[in-house]
Amino acid sequence: MDIRLQEKLDALPTEPGVYLMKDKRGTIIYVGKAINLRSRVRSYFNRSGDTRVFVSLLDTMLGDLETVLVHNEKEALLLENELIKKHKPRFNVLLKDDKQFISLRLDRTQPFPRLEVVRKYEKDGARYFGPYSSAGAIRETLRLINRFFRLRTCTDHVLANRKRPCLLYQIGRCPAPCVHPVPPDEYRKSVDEVAMFLEGKAGQLIEGLRARMKRASMELKFEEAARVRDQLLAIERSLERQKVATTDFKDQDVFALFREGDRILFYVLHVRQGRLNGGQAFPFGSQEFPDDELLASFVNLYYDQGGFVPEEVLLPLEPGDGTDGLEALLTERKGERVRVFVPKRGEKHELVNMAVKNAEQAFVERKRTKDETDTVLSRLQSKLGLRNFPRRMECYDISHFQSSSIVASQVAVTDGETDKSRYRKYKIKTVEKQDDFASMYEVITRRLKRGLEDNDLPDLLVIDGGKGQLASAHAAMKDLGVEGVDVVGLAKSRDQEVFDRDAESAKSPERVFVLGRKDPIVLPQNSAEMFMLTRMRDEAHRFAITFQGKSMRKSSLRSALEDIPGVGEGRRKMLLRHFGSLKRVGEASIEELTEVVGPAMAERVHAGLHGDPEDDTEDPVREASLDDASEPVHEKADGGSPPGAA
């Protein structure tokens, strides 16, 4: 260790704060917090017998150290969180996806509330239920609620503008408050029952439903009694499937971790009103720091993602600086008292043990899946003669409609799983007519330029097409001087000539074209390697077609807006500035348009986009995005299967 760094260590204060470790190039590699900065940082150099790889490399890796003083541990937690998100240090746990928390929102301040699926909690007076462990779990809950509790499912805009009941009213799943005079008190009863169901208040809910069923039967309202009976049976079956975890019926999050070397997996078990509500696993690699430090950092980041903060948080071990600061921070975020426990016995300890078992099981399953995926990737590298191990792959596809509206898609796979944070969509700028070769050259050029600037290049580029598309991509690589990236072309199967008229039409196998090789490589058509490539290619095709459809609908809507007499460039800009997008202009009511362009022009715009305002047909205007070229894409969590290895 050089003298300058040793002097910094000797001069460290004993106050609370945050420390930033940097490597020789000045890159921040770890951010930590401490109540006593001197004690915490010096401990990394005084641990006798510490076998962690990171600690053994500190003397040679560490180039500089910075500290930021704060007043207390809560401020240290907040600052640590912000610095981790800003710098993304190599050795910190990083929660990269802000779409993990799926919950239900019920705004009871509205006259006719509805349940909404959301991924962020806000202090807006609404009730939030969850989080749910998966999209499948929340769909099952919504299916039950929509069938038996009869709340509206339409948006506020549809509720305010619908002229006739929808199909859900016809099949008895909605009272249609959009067009019928539904008594608010009657609707409010259904809202209260939904809240009780989601809160897990089984006894109170079932008792009320039984009383209503008996009352309807005594009043000879047999259809209503039968409906309540079916509702009661469905709720009882649903509650039977939920295991009672505790007897104090509180909302709790239970954390656990399991690690092997530098690989660690955190597991969060959700308990709502004393019943298990699911769990989530969060795997990380390259984690050399102690478990107590990583746990405190993970919990801090977890709740900063917008997740629901429960009444109690249970941890498997004491965080590095105790629970007081974490408890104060979570209490501030929730707006009411939050308790953080490290239980040693009783029901809470059993919950922690359950979470630990789930963490170990999830770790083992992911390790087995990763080993299988690595085997497939290794075979793919060998069979295609790739220089790089194809851990980070990207696939490109060009899409057009009748030689116009040319777009391209970029989908990505990391370690055999879709990586939607690296999805991109492109509008072709330099090609006006159909030319797949020139379009591919433009897309690859734009991608590689950005990759060179950000030092972010993939291991393998997969081009949808044959020798021509592959040559275009290679030309872009040569022009930019990119040499360390593999590139292949994947050609779809095609019909082969069959001379026997009675024989079924034959298909050629999928072919992989490789630079410097005349004939394509034909992988076994049912192999895991071919499955991985074709699923990635199909995903790129789907993504390109979807984007192209949105672009065409947007163009069609813009044309419709431009064709309306009296709507010039100025009024179009006013409408877009006010509503934010063409889609919202198309959805706006006459009253909303009046606020921008006046009553007469509002009727003209609405009629131009929707037809005769007196016509009671459905709105023909569909979604039209204003997405620009080459922007990141965040799709739904349940949006399709990953093109990973089987």
Among candidate residues 503, 500, 536, 507, the one with its CA nearest the CA of residue 522? 507
d(CA 171, CA 158): 19
d(CA 338, CA 307): 14
The sign of the dihedral angle between the CA atoms of 514, 518, 522, 523 is negative
* Structure tokens given for 227: 């409906």
The correct answer on CATH 3.30.420.340 for the domain covering 392-497+505-541 is: yes
Bigger pLDDT: 229 or 470? 470
pLDDT in tens, 349-390: 999 999 999 999 989 888 888 888 899 999 999 999 999 999
Domains in the chain: boundaries: 3-87, 252-365, 392-497+505-541, 548-632
d(CA 177, CA 154): 10
Is residue 251 classed as helix, strand or coil in its secondary structure?
Answer: coil
pLDDT of residue 243: 54
d(CA 536, CA 528): 12
Bigger pLDDT: 5 or 310? 310
548-632 has the same fold as 392-497+505-541 = no
Banded model confidence at residue 392, pLDDT cuts 50, 70, 90: very high
The correct answer on CATH 3.40.1440.10 for the domain covering 3-87 is: yes
Its pTM surpasses 0.85: no
Q: What angle do CA 423, 86, 79 make, to 5 degrees?
A: 145
pLDDT of residue 641: 35
Tell me how many helices (H) and strands (E) the chain has: 20, 21
Q: Which of 50-64, 326-340, 543-557, 573-587 has the largest mean confidence?
A: 326-340
Among candidate residues 121, 267, 115, the one with its CA nearest the CA of residue 198? 115
pLDDT in tens, 253-262: 999 999 887 7
pLDDT in tens, 280-290: 888 887 787 88
Banded model confidence at residue 98, pLDDT cuts 50, 70, 90: very low
CATH number of this structure's domain 548-632, picked from the four choices 3.40.50.1110, 1.10.150.20, 1.10.10.10, 3.40.50.720: 1.10.150.20
Banded model confidence at residue 604, pLDDT cuts 50, 70, 90: confident
Average pLDDT in the 402-416 region?
84
For domain 252-365, which architecture applies? 2-Layer Sandwich (3.30)
